[in-house]
Amino acid sequence: MDIRALNAAQKYAAARPATLPSPGQDAPGKGLGETLGEVASDFAETFRAGEETATAAMAGRVDATTLVQALAQTELAVDAAVTVRDKVVEAYQEILRMPV
């Protein structure tokens, strides 16, 4: 047996645990629907929190800095949602262009 092949096999075995998911990451059996549902609920929560902060700012209960931070987070969430939507539409159009 070639020593380089043995060394490569040992290095692979040592590096393999690094590719396993961490306990804090998504479960391996989680489907796309569940993941998209969580993303949608997170987006809705961010949007709701921004609206509440804006309403509180109009009533004078929240300072301007908090309002700007909430609006920036909401804007970032909307930009991310629009980017994902654009990528999905682009992928769908690409699939439609494929010959059958």
Find the helix or strand (DSSP H, E) in which 7 lies: helix 3-15
CA dist., res. 8 & res. 6, Å (int): 5
- 9 occurs within a structural domain: no
Q: Is residue 74 part of a domain?
A: yes
Q: Is residue 23 part of a domain?
A: no
What's the domain range around 42? Answer: 30-100
Question: Which residue type, as a one-letter code, is found at position 19?
Answer: T
Query: Do the domain assignments include residue 80?
Result: yes
The answer to whether residue 91 sits within a structural domain is yes
Contacts of residue 46, Cβ cutoff 8 Å, sequence gap at least 6: 73, 74, 77
Domain count, the chain: 1
Written as tens digits, the pLDDT of the chain (100 aa) is 556 666 766 777 777 666 666 665 555 667 878 888 888 899 899 999 999 999 999 999 999 999 999 999 999 999 998 998 999 999 999 999 998 7
Report the candidate in 39, 17, 36, 20 with the shortest Cα–Cα distance to residue 28.
20
Q: Is the dihedral of CA 44, 48, 51, 53 positive or negative?
A: negative
